[in-house]
Structure 1
Amino acid sequence: MALLVHLLACAFGLGSWVAVNGLWVELPLIVNTLPEGWDLPSYLTVIIQLANVGPVLVTLMHKLCPGRLKETVVIYCILSIGVISCVLLAFFWDKTTVVAGATRSTAFFAITFFLSLVDCTSSVTFLPFMMQLPANYITTYYIGEGLSGFIPGVVALAQSVGIAKCVNSSQTAGNQTDGGLWSSHTEYLPPNFSTEVFFGLLAVMMCISLAAFAALNRLPRIFDLSTEKLVPDAVASVSSGLENPGAEAAGEGARCQGEAAARSEPLSTSPKHSVYQLTFIYFMVVWVNCATNGVLPSVQTYSSKSYGNLAYHLSAALASVANPVACTIAMFFQNRSLVFLGVMTALGTGFGSYNMAMAAMSPCPLLQGSVVGEMIIVLSWLFFTGTLSYVKVMVGVILRDQSHSALVWCGAATQVGSLVGSLTMFPLVNVYRLFKSGDFCSTRCPS
């Protein structure tokens, strides 16, 4: 029976961020179809930030009408919305409409908002529910949350998106262009399975999470959960969990920080930090989340797609895998030194700066057309995500040990950084058009 509960806890955690993670790793295929093209990631970052209205509304409900909103009802609702949204996405992701004279992916954006609403709200509902179970099941739940990023990345790699070749116009048109030069274009080979199948797999994973929660919801009536078995400082209800804005942060950063907080030592035994140290810590929180949740995701297409669709595919999929791996490493190998975290932040910023520079140089980045260039951009995205994800976890540990209010402000700083990054990049990408797209085969770059 204990093994069954561990499996259910893992499956329940799977539904936390699997939908949004799935969207990101499938972008290399989606951007070739939807009219927004290379600008699509910048739209997604803003939509995900707007979806934080879900946790805010649930929090206000608990503040204004205490005891009215049951945790089981909230979780059943958001998981059901997640299942329905994934199914709708499989059928309507490529449907477009004309808005203000331009073709827009209205169906994709609307469904993405609801998927983001589900995942953002899960950050403040799933963990408080799991706190009602014995402590040894919490770790298993975190493994499931890690798999919510790992599995979509592995599935996307198995999909083999991004295999392409440059085809001369003579192979298809049988003639030459003016001047006697052959023109060429990119021809993408079909993936091992379609985008519709991928979104269907996301729906299946959401169904597994919903079924696991339905089973777990009956466990408190079956098992005798004594006080001694619960996690220290456990949150008995979703209401008390929602009173902490630190849980309302968007993306994987919020999940990792919550995980770190739950595994850290009791507050009473924790060292205190000076005002200057706390200022530095909060600066890291704002900066890291601004970079990872807003700035760099908006230009990921421009930074890596100029090297070819395969490089873009690998950078998106492996970066998604790097996040849960970094969080898992931080769970077992913790270094709270502010000097070390500052170095890690600078290192991650360096990788991010390289990615941004390649995006600014698009469609002619450094080492374009070489295997070395492709390897560097993929590894740069991998280490950018991994190093800064580790910093997020350790910052969550430090501030949780500082005080409860420190973790509250951590959540606020996380949200501010994410929002500033998203809102800053959106006009730069979509209004001022500072980043240029180009076809890997047809673009002619100076040697």
Structure 2
Amino acid sequence: MPRLARCSGNRGMTRRRFLIDVLIVMFGISAWVGVNGIYVQLPLLVLTAPEGWSLPAYIVVIVQAANIGPVLYALSRKFFPNLCKESAWISSLLILGSVAMGTLAFVYETKTSINGTEHSVALLALIFFTALVGCSSSVLFVPYLRNFHEVHLVSFFVGEGLSGLLPSAVALVQGVGGNEECKSPESNSTNDTASSNHEVPHFSPKIYFLFLFSLLVASTCAFWILECSLVSQDKSDPKLSTVFRTPLPHCNQCPSHENLSSGIPKFETRIAEEVTEATSLQSDTTIAYNGVVRSYLYVLIGLICFAGNGFLPGIQSYSCLPYGNVAYHLTVTLAHLSNPIACVLALWMPPPGPRGITKVSTLAVIASTYVTWLAFSSPTPPWRGTTLGTILVVLAWIALTGLVTYAKLSITAIFRRESGATSLFYVGVVTQAGSVAGAIFSFVLTNYSTLLTPYKSCIPSS
């Protein structure tokens, strides 16, 4: 009889842990689902926004500006430690992100005139509030998980991965709107403009944003249930609460050394910790690199983030749209899928040393050079209007995203394995500096120079 009771208790504990896993996965989805979803929807947004092809550059800068959130939180923790509970900060952010996404569904096409020029002020402002959730997740969400058993941390990583996979999958189902193909101007047909195809997506951006809103609401409710479970466990059975409250290593230092640089939705830093731990099981020795190698890696990750987090996302539309909206749509959605896939593959392969990272970075340079060449060749890049050109631009962006992700992950893992928190802090500083510089450069290039020329489509303005 006692044996049966013990088995029943184990089954109850298993069910309880499974429920906690599900809730933490939902909580993890909220980290970057808003920003990821907006980037995935860009092929449709550029068709209606007054900024047109420059809209991605605006969004990159806005997302980078949202890093003010974790900075303010870190400062408040230092100077006003009793100002507000950690759970209250998280709850406020989730509510803010949900309200912003819900509002965005109804005002994303709203235009505001500033000095005689129309801008998507409402869209960009709501994107900023949505990005605050993602940018603050590294200093709020991960430390909060110290309240739960360490095994549940993996569930949070799964949720972060789904924050990119789910919007991409839904966008693939949504399809594209607006085929960029036009007839030749030499054509004598009187129906040239009317003859251009205008494909209609299966559902509008409004429905898509409402889907993201529902995910954020579900994530908010999941967090509230998690918080209530902590409170109830503390009050009812302190012994049982040890299942949930197992401190995670370095949790007290999270605000000071967590990577605050993520201007584009990523979760390489947390995956880097998993990679490092997996590698440490294979070898107990720690390799110490000299100052030259360390400086080289710092410069390399700065350049990688300059291009991958700032510059290239800002010119992506110029690189892809001349091949049609289908090419742009596939590029954005599939490239977002390659990010978490690259992180998962890194868990199965030990991170390479500096030479291996150099090889990966070289391949990334080749891919980035190709897509940059296409952007500067707009509106008539090579192989435009051919299947070959479409395939090449899509594959180049998928490879570029995967290589950049793997290179950043590997460099972060090296510094974490070698020197720990101090080096990771400087990695965060360099990463942020590179990302911001790249974002500003792409913004200036697309808005205040004539080097990038958008392709004039035949789609009538709405």
Normalized against structure 1, the TM-score is what?
Answer: 0.91
SS of 2:62 mapped into structure 1 = helix
**Residue number in structure 2 paired with 1:419:** 436
Structure 2 residue 98 is the aligned partner of structure 1 residue 86:
no
Q: State the shift of 1:230 in Å.
A: 4.5
Whichever residue aligns with residue 193 of structure 1, its letter is F
Whichever residue aligns with residue 87 of structure 2, its letter is T
2:244 & 2:133 partners in 1: Cα distance? 31
Q: State the shift of 1:182 in Å.
A: 5.1
Change (3 A) 1:294 1:179: closer
1:178 & 1:439 partners in 2: Cα distance? 16
Superposed counterparts of 1:223-262, under 5 Å = 223-225=240-242, 230-231=247-248, 233-235=249-251, 240-244=253-257, 246-253=259-266, 255-261=267-273
**Residue number in structure 2 paired with 1:31:** 46
Whichever residue aligns with residue 192 of structure 2, its letter is S
Structure 2 residue 202 is the aligned partner of structure 1 residue 192:
yes
2:353 & 2:61 partners in 1: Cα distance? 33
Q: State the shift of 1:57 in Å.
A: 0.7
1:65 & 1:425 partners in 2: Cα distance? 37
**Residue number in structure 2 paired with 1:343:** 359
Q: Is the 8 A contact 2:147 2:245 kept in 1?
A: no
Q: State the shift of 1:180 in Å.
A: 3.7
**Residue number in structure 2 paired with 1:366:** 382
1:52 & 1:274 partners in 2: Cα distance? 32
Q: State the shift of 1:179 in Å.
A: 8.6
Whichever residue aligns with residue 261 of structure 1, its letter is E
SS of 1:264 mapped into structure 2 = helix
Q: Is the 8 A contact 1:89 1:108 kept in 2?
A: yes
1:165 & 1:313 partners in 2: Cα distance? 12
Q: State the shift of 1:245 in Å.
A: 5.0
Whichever residue aligns with residue 40 of structure 2, its letter is V
Q: C-alpha deviations, 1:118-162, integer Å up to 9, x for none?
A: 211112211111133111111111011011011111111110114
Q: C-alpha deviations, 1:383-415, integer Å up to 9, x for none?
A: 000111011112221111122100000100110
Q: State the shift of 1:299 in Å.
A: 0.5
Q: C-alpha deviations, 1:363-400, integer Å up to 9, x for none?
A: 10111110010000000000000111011112221111
Q: Is the 8 A contact 1:358 1:366 kept in 2?
A: yes
Superposed counterparts of 1:193-212, under 5 Å = 193-212=203-222
Whichever residue aligns with residue 378 of structure 2, its letter is S
**Residue number in structure 1 paired with 2:404:** 388
The number of equivalent residue pairs is 430
2:222 & 2:424 partners in 1: Cα distance? 30
Q: Which runs of 5+ in 2 are unaligned?
A: 1-15, 234-239
Q: Which runs of 5+ in 1 are unaligned?
A: 170-176, 443-447
Whichever residue aligns with residue 21 of structure 1, its letter is N
- Work out which of the residue numbers 77, 84, 102 in structure 2 matches 1:62: 77
Whichever residue aligns with residue 360 of structure 2, its letter is M
Q: State the shift of 1:258 in Å.
A: 2.8
Q: C-alpha deviations, 1:313-349, integer Å up to 9, x for none?
A: 0001111111111111112322232111111111112
SS of 1:434 mapped into structure 2 = coil
Percent identity over the alignment is: 32
Whichever residue aligns with residue 91 of structure 1, its letter is F
Q: State the shift of 1:167 in Å.
A: 6.7
1:248 & 1:384 partners in 2: Cα distance? 19
Whichever residue aligns with residue 354 of structure 1, its letter is Y
Whichever residue aligns with residue 130 of structure 2, its letter is L
**Residue number in structure 1 paired with 2:126:** 111
Structure 2 residue 151 is the aligned partner of structure 1 residue 141:
no
Whichever residue aligns with residue 52 of structure 2, its letter is G
Q: C-alpha deviations, 1:179-236, integer Å up to 9, x for none?
A: 94556344321111110000000101111111111122234342422799554x2415
Change (3 A) 1:165 1:27: closer
**Residue number in structure 2 paired with 1:445:** none
Change (3 A) 1:178 1:206: closer
SS of 1:439 mapped into structure 2 = coil
**Residue number in structure 2 paired with 1:173:** none
Q: State the shift of 1:102 in Å.
A: 0.5
Q: C-alpha deviations, 1:257-314, integer Å up to 9, x for none?
A: 1331255337996332211111121122101111111110011000000000000000
SS of 2:48 mapped into structure 1 = coil
**Residue number in structure 1 paired with 2:34:** 19
SS of 2:118 mapped into structure 1 = strand
Normalized against structure 2, the TM-score is what?
Answer: 0.88
1:230 & 1:193 partners in 2: Cα distance? 45
Change (3 A) 1:288 1:43: same
**Residue number in structure 2 paired with 1:217:** 227
SS of 2:63 mapped into structure 1 = helix
Which piece of structure 1 moves more, 156-165 or 299-308?
156-165
Whichever residue aligns with residue 221 of structure 2, its letter is A
Change (3 A) 1:409 1:190: same
**Residue number in structure 2 paired with 1:309:** 325
Q: Is the 8 A contact 2:181 2:324 kept in 1?
A: no
Structure 2 residue 110 is the aligned partner of structure 1 residue 95:
yes
Q: Is the 8 A contact 2:168 2:333 kept in 1?
A: yes
SS of 2:41 mapped into structure 1 = helix
1:346 & 1:58 partners in 2: Cα distance? 37
Change (3 A) 1:34 1:45: same
After superposition, the CA RMSD in angstroms is 2.3
1:229 & 1:72 partners in 2: Cα distance? 17
Structure 2 residue 453 is the aligned partner of structure 1 residue 432:
no
Which piece of structure 1 moves more, 241-250 or 377-386?
241-250
2:18 & 2:116 partners in 1: Cα distance? 57
Q: State the shift of 1:67 in Å.
A: 3.6
